[in-house]
Structure 1
Amino acid sequence: MSLFDRIFGRAAGDVPARIDGGGAPLSFGASGRPLAQSVSPDGGFVISTSQELEAALRGEAGLSGEVVTPETAMRVGAVFGCVRLIAGKVATLPIDVKRRVDDRTRIDASDHAVAQLLRRKPNGWQRPAQFKRMMQAHVLLRGNAFALKVISRGEVRALIPIHPERVTVRQRDDLTLEYDVVRKNGSPITVSQDEMFHLYGLTLNGYSGVTPLTYARETIGQARARDRQVAATFRHGARPSGAVSMPDDKKLSDPAYDRLQRSLDDFRAGGEKDGGVLLLEEGLKWETISMSPTDMQWIEGQKLSRSEICMFFGVPPSMIGDNSGSDSNWGTGLEQKSNGFSAYTMDDHLVMWEEEIGAMIADPKIYARFNRAAMVRTDIKTRYAAHAVALQWGWASPNEVRALEDQNPREDGDIYYPPPNTAGDASGKSEKDDNDPVA
């Protein structure tokens, strides 16, 4: 039973409800739709479904009158673009699992169970990219992402994702965490901290995350309200066409009024009759009304909303297709914007994943790390220039570079070239030309 039904105690009949503290009530029928949709001058707003009522009672309705939930927020282009960009980048970056041999040596540990889980099959129906994209989207839209660990022989063999709305996090007196989970059949279970894979970013209590939607609710609500207004305006011809007047000593008959109303509706409804000739009768006069430039500032308001939403998610507006600004804080070039996005936005999310993955590996010498170099793999010039520097200064071998490019090793490719002007023998002594006067 929904919160709507639990509050009002019935699912049929007319139920008066209004979320504004006053004014005329809204009547809800058995379908959950309001029988009369209206907005009063005192600032009330329409609740059209029981789900929207539940969201409003949880405080998810802003001053704009729009109920902002993860589902409704994704209908705003800027929100969808930010979530798609961040979640897609997490999904496509490869994760390397390595083992620390000593303070200086690392070896590949791709045969570890966690590496196989993250690279091949996190569960029985999802691929790694699908799993990571969905979990990251949950973090961005709901603040938390949960997956139940399937443990066998001391190793995590699968991660079963659970919708955040079915999980409640609770901290016990001994400071450990417990998770109350509602199964799909409605039965509750309690899961310990060691059995739950829990991702969250910004937190105010230390164990449960908050989402940008919590603090961007007014901005997103204003964007949705503005979109509704623009859609309604364009539906009626994108302009107030004009007004019809008649002499004071005359009165329009009912048949003439009905014909005029139908003609006006056709005239402004778009299609073949839009912009055509309007035939008036009984002394009526048509007066054109033009819209002032101030009334047409919707596009500027939309730009402002996009910029503010991008600020909440930490995404440059140009990276979601908004090229109205210069993004001067991170530079004007694509490379500077990509570097700023990687350093100030993506690294925060990647470290969140790396720490939670490391927490489910029993061996402290094994760790997981995203290959951040893959962020520039689409820029072949920058990638090859970085390889050349690594080879020139001797901190990468040709075979290591070839491995990064997914190529087979070559014979004698494990050599490390000495840096320029420091060539020497095995003892480290520099070799100098006998004709060199300094020698």
Structure 2
Amino acid sequence: MSIWSKWFGGREAKPAASNSGYQPAGGGTVIVTSDQLEEALRNGNVSASGATVNSETAMRSAAVYACVRLIAGAVATLPLDVKRRTNARTREDASDTPLWRLLRRKPNRWQTPSQFRRMMQAHLLLRGNAYGLIVRSVNRSRDVKEIIPIHPDRVRCKQNDDLSLTYTYTTLAGRQVTLVQSEVFHLVGLTFDGVHGVSVLTYAREAIGEALVMTEHGATMFRNGARVSGVLTHPGKLGDKEFENLKASLDEFRASGERDGKAMILEEGMKFERVAMTSADAQWIESRKFTRAEIAMFFGVPPTMIGDNTGSDSNWGTGLEQKSNGFVAYTLEDHLTTWEETIFRDLIADETSDLYARFNRAALVRGDIKTRWDAYMKGRQMKVLSANDVRELEDMNPVDGGDVYENPLINVDTKTTEEEPANEPPNAA
């Protein structure tokens, strides 16, 4: 049976027998029975703060969105090279392979490589798993032609008795398709069983729910004007008509943002006294800062990289450069390695192959021209890089004589010359 007949000729999806409901065409879970409702309320996506936390609502939190955007963007924009080992010490670009064209030019018919990687990495961060259908050519080589991303909410992965994996995918039409392990590109995050990745939302649900509730509370407070900015005092007593006129004037004054900061005219000897921020307001602001830093901790992102500059020190150092290096070493490296190893396992799938995929980590300092060129100079001095190697990294054409590995700061003249005798002054008479 071809892969396309599997897609469109499968059996109709039926509600699962378990109490967890089943997945509809748009993703998520449909609750049918009272037992499913009870389980959803007890163990579902509702946090203790009352906010529903799932992959969509979590992205409404500024901290979650910033963390996902930062990590997914780095994975999407780093150059992904396909290399070939020619011997134990020599590597060369494998730009003549279908895998290079797949990863560097066209992963499928509608996505660019950066779009594909950004989407898959976002799935990995929010759900712990990312899936893609592998479409291979029908010839003997069985080269990978496309990788079609599959929504993780529609995939169920099961490990068989022989330790192989089977994937069941529910299409938009509600049909179930069974896929074998060789047909699925499967990125796995932090895992406890080696098969299913753990979603960050599972363990950060309370922190994210608290952030969502505080954001909603702040929006409601400012919309309704619940926080009193000041009080009006009158030397006498206002009648009903005067009170209604004053109330209407105040409502009209604060109804438009264009009047914010302008002066208000008071009559009959009234005075305005400003009310300072209460301790509850100050504590609410501090709680928001703490929640933002806690969410960043779950994703392994320094708070300063998502706009939280409340603290100048961290375990990764005090300077921006040290924090960026810590983010690359302890967070981003984990995701890059996951991609590299998964590409070899699922797309190359030949342990004897000389091909491998590797992200160019040097591109992380692309925006820092001083650091980049200092690194090039050190590479030239150590005879690790040639002039043409540097020009290739900078997307420049090679030059004649640029393949020599030598220290450009040392100019040794190997020719031996005889020193001419110094002119002696004539003897005095």
TM norm structure 1: 0.76
Change (3 A) 1:266 1:113: same
CA shift for structure 1 position 315: 0.7
Please point out which of 202, 227, 240 is paired with 2:228: 240
Is 2:76 the counterpart of 1:76?
no
Quick one: which of 53, 65, 90 aligns to 1:105? 90
> Which residue, out of 147, 151, 164, partners 1:176?
164
Question: Per-residue deviation at 1:291?
Answer: 5.4
1:381 and 2:370 are equivalent in the alignment:
yes
Cross-structure match for 2:206: 218
Instruction: Give the one of 377, 381, 387 matched to 1:392.
Output: 381
Aligned to 1:157: 145
Equivalences for residues 274-353 of structure 1 within 5 A? 292-353=278-339
**Distance change >3 Å, CA 271–CA 91, structure 1 → 2:** closer
1:242 CA displacement: 7.8
Contact 1:316 1:337 in 2 (8 A): yes
Conservation of the 8 A alpha-carbon contact between 1:83 and 1:140: yes
Offset at residue 423 of structure 1 (A): 8.1
Structure 1 residues 366, 321: closer, same or farther in 2, change over 3 A?
same
Q: How many residues align?
A: 380
Q: Which has the higher mean CA deviation after the structures are superposed, 214-223 or 292-301?
A: 292-301
- The superposition leaves residues 42-84 of structure 1 with CA deviations (integer Å, 9 ceiling, x where unpaired) of xxxxxxxxxxxx9656521111000011111111111111100
1:69-107 C-alpha deviation (Å, 9 max, x unpaired): 111111111111110000000000011111112211112
Cα pair 2:84 2:91 within 8 Å, conserved: yes
CA offsets per residue over residues 11-59 of structure 1, 9 Å max, x none?
Answer: xxxxxx997xxxxxxxxxxxxxxxxxxxxxxxxxxxxxxxxxx965652
SS at match of 1:70: coil
Cα distance in structure 2, aligned partners of 1:272 and 1:358: 59
What is the CA–CA distance in structure 1 between the aligned matches of 2:398 and 2:410, rounded to whole Å?
A: 28
Question: Any conservation in 2 of the 1:236–1:270 contact (CA below 8 Å)?
Answer: no
User: Where does the alignment leave 5 or more consecutive residues of structure 1 unmatched?
Assistant: 10-16, 20-53, 246-251, 281-285, 426-430
**Change over 3 Å in CA distance of 1:424–1:132 after alignment to 2:** farther
CA contact (8 A) 1:202 1:210 kept: yes
Equivalent residues of 1:87, 1:133 under 8 A apart: yes
d(CA) in 1 for partners of 2:226 and 2:418?
Answer: 86
Q: Secondary structure at the match of 2:56?
A: helix
Cα contact 2:31–2:37 (8 A) shared by 1: no
Shift of 1:177: 0.7
Counterpart of 1:125 (choices 110, 127, 130) is: 110
Pairing of 1:189-208 with structure 2 (within 5 A): 189-208=177-196
For the Cα contact (< 8 Å) 1:402–1:408, is it kept in 2?
yes
Q: Which amino acid aligns with 1:194?
A: S
Could you say which residue in structure 1 is the equivalent of 2:399? Answer: 410
Cα distance in structure 2, aligned partners of 1:378 and 1:202: 31
The Cα offsets for residues 165-195 of structure 1, whole Å up to 9 and x where unpaired, read as 0001101011111111011111001111111
Aligned to 1:370: 359
Q: Distance in 1 between matches of 2:48 and 2:342?
A: 37
Partner deviation per Cα, 1:377-433 (whole Å, 9 max, x = no partner): 1111111111111111111111111111101010011111169899899xxxxx999
Distance 1:340-1:299 versus aligned 2 partners, 3 A rule? same
The C-alpha deviation readout for 1:107-135, integer Å capped at 9, x for no partner, is 21111111110000000000000000000
Cα offset, 1:3, TM superposition: 5.1
Which residue among 121, 125, 140 is the counterpart of 1:140? 125
Could you tell me which residue of structure 1 aligns to residue 32 of structure 2? Answer: 6
- Whether contact under 8 Å (1:93, 1:372) holds in the other structure is yes
For the structure 1 residues 110 and 56, does the alpha-carbon distance in structure 2 shift closer, same or farther, using more than 3 Å as the test? farther
RMSD over aligned CA atoms reads 3.7
The answer on 1:96 being equivalent to 2:81 is: yes
Q: For the Cα contact (< 8 Å) 1:241–1:290, is it kept in 2?
A: yes
Q: Within 2, Cα distance between the matches of 1:207 and 1:326?
A: 39
Gaps of 5+ in 2: 1-23, 234-238, 420-429
Shift of 1:236: 2.3
Task: Render the CA deviation track for 1:206-242: whole Å, top value 9, x for unaligned.
Answer: 1111121111111111111111111111112361368
**Aligned AA (2:169):** V
Amino acid paired to 1:135: M
Question: What secondary structure is seen at the aligned counterpart in 2 of 1:374?
Answer: helix
Which deviates further from its counterpart, 150-159 or 84-93?
Answer: 150-159
Q: Map of 1:21-60 to 2, 5 A cutoff?
A: 56=41, 59-60=44-45
| Distance verdict in 2 for CA 1:342–1:380, change over 3 Å | same
Name the aligned partner's letter for residue 324 of structure 2.
Answer: S
Secondary structure at the counterpart of residue 297 of structure 1: helix
C-alpha spacing 1:419/1:266, structure 2 compared with 1 (3 Å): closer
Deviations 1:146-176 (Å, cap 9, x if unpaired)?
0000011321111000000000110101111
Q: Report the more deviating stretch, 318-327 or 139-148.
A: 318-327
8 A Cα contact 2:132 2:147, kept in partner:
yes
The structure showing larger relative contact order (alpha-carbon pairs under 8 Å, at least 6 residues apart) is 2
Question: Partner of 1:204: helix, strand, or coil?
Answer: coil
Task: Name the stretch that deviates more: 408-417 or 232-241.
Answer: 232-241
Change (3 A) 1:122 1:392: same
Q: Contact 1:267/1:278 (CA < 8 Å) preserved in 2? A: no
